[in-house]
Amino acid sequence: MQYIYNISNILIKVNIIMENEEKVMTGEESLKIISEMINKTKFDIRQGSFYLLFWGWLIFVCSLSEFLLKKFAGVGHSYYVWLLVIPGVFVSMIYGFMTGRKAKVRTYTGILYMWIWFGFFIAAMVLFIVHSKSMYSVAPYILLLAGLPTFISGFLIKFKPLIAGGICFWVIALAIFFAGTDTYSLGSAIAMLFGYLIPGYMLKNRVDHDAV
Amino acid sequence: MTRFKELDPILHSQLRLAVVSLLIGIEMAEFTYIREQTGATAGNLSIQITRLKEAGYIEVIKKFRNNYPQTLCSITELGRQKFAEYVNDLKDYLSPKKQG
């Protein structure tokens, strides 16, 4: 019995020594380790696709409902559909809090991504307050603002459809500004389709494909 | 005659170099994440992290999350500086310039 115990003790010690023994590396091996490890620290883009799809659908439904209610049902206070944005903010905050708690790593890209969108949220709130007496005219400015984080996020995660989405926001903002207030809600719905939903689904497909 | 500057012995080790290279691009990482990415055993990783911490290259924070211990690692300014020096020395080593 003592013999077996001694052998197992020796094996454990040998294992520890082997684990801690440092193999001499060549310069090429060092470079390979550095590039492999740096490549592993890419930002997890799954979080990005959730927000794009969630906000894309929410704003798309609100914009289109407002347009349809006003144009075809003749509802005067069709803008009330925008109240859906309030629970949307809470859902986003809860999702962000939950994923943040579970995250095992915080990348610089992820932090930058979060603050860019948070900055957009604050700027949008300021815009709503400034335009509180003329909310009907806020759409082109919101699209103008929304284009910026979308465009930058596209560069951060190296995803061209999102860069194109940001540009779409600016083009549509300009178009509806000159086309008049009647086009604002329909223009916003189209902007959501090209700016958030299409890039959002493409991003999700890429993540799902990479995960296989 | 070609002269090589000696590579930093703290960084010139497979696992320690992997840990620092991993931490260079992130703000903070959990011990389990580093273990998954490097493929090291918990025991060996723990020893190498302690060595890096003692050298002042990384900072280790231990706390609790949902009643479970959590070890968080991040690179220090010294670690960042030493890593940059190591990469420069490595470049000289791989493509030496003739001196004197």
In a domain, A64, yes or no: yes
Phi, psi of A88 (to 5 degrees): -60, -40
Residue B60 has pLDDT above 70, yes or no: yes
pLDDT value of position B59: 96
- Residue A98: give the domain boundaries: 44-211
Q: Which of residues 115-134 of A touch B (CB under 8 A)?
A: none
In a domain, A36, yes or no: no
Tell me which of A21, A28, A39, A104 to substitute to probe the interface with B (most B C-beta atoms closer than 10 Å). A104
Decide: helix, strand or coil at residue A192: helix
HEC readout, chain B: CCCCCCCCCCCCCHHHHHHHHHHHCEEEEEHHHHHHHHCCCHHHHHHHHHHHHHCCCEEEEEEEECCEEEEEEEECHHHHHHHHHHHHHHHHHHCCCCCC
pLDDT value of position A16: 43
- For residues B89 and A13, give the distance between their C-alpha atoms in angstroms, rounded to a whole number: 35
C-beta of residue A70 within 8 angstroms of C-beta of residue A211: no
In a domain, A22, yes or no: no
Taking alpha carbons only, the member of A200, A190, A204, A185 closest to residue A78 is A185
Contact residues for A148 (Cβ-Cβ < 8 A; gap 6+): A120, A166
B37–A31 CB contact, under 8 Å: no
pLDDT value of position A132: 81
pLDDT value of position A47: 65
Cβ contacts of A102 on chain B, cutoff 8 Å = none
Cβ contacts of B28 on chain A, cutoff 8 Å = 105-106
In a domain, A2, yes or no: no
Residue B98 has pLDDT above 70, yes or no: no
C-beta of residue A52 within 8 angstroms of C-beta of residue A149: no
pLDDT value of position A19: 47
In a domain, A8, yes or no: no
Which of residues B77 and A9 earns the better pLDDT score?
Answer: B77
The domain limits of chain B are: 14-91
pLDDT category at A72 given cuts 50, 70, 90 is confident
Q: What CATH class has B14-91? A: mainly alpha
Q: Is B46 exposed, middle or buried (0-12, 13-18, 19+ CB in 10 A)?
A: middle
pLDDT category at A27 given cuts 50, 70, 90 is confident
Say what the pTM is. 0.73
In a domain, A29, yes or no: no
Q: In Å, how far is A104's CA from the nearest CA of chain B? A: 5
State which H helix or E strand residue A184 sits in. helix A184-192
Which of residues A105 and A34 earns the better pLDDT score?
Answer: A34
Q: In Å, how far is A115's CA from the nearest CA of chain B? A: 14
Which of residues B87 and A109 earns the better pLDDT score?
Answer: B87
The number of CA neighbours under 13 Å toward the Cβ of A186 is 13
Q: Is A97 on the interface with B (CB under 8 A)?
A: no
pLDDT value of position B91: 85
pLDDT tens figures, A182-207: 889 899 999 999 999 999 999 888 86
Q: Which of residues 14-33 of A touch B (CB under 8 A)?
A: 16, 19-20, 22-23, 25, 27-31, 33
ipTM: 0.83
Q: In Å, how far is A40's CA from the nearest CA of chain B? A: 7
Q: Which of A161-170, A174-183, B63-72 comes out lowest in average pLDDT?
A: B63-72
Per the structure, the count of domains in chain A is: 1
pLDDT tens figures, A115-165: 999 999 999 999 989 988 877 788 899 999 999 999 999 998 888 999 999
In a domain, A26, yes or no: no
Q: Which of A28, A33, A107 sits opposite B25 (nearest CB)?
A: A107
Q: Is A110 exposed, middle or buried (0-12, 13-18, 19+ CB in 10 A)?
A: buried
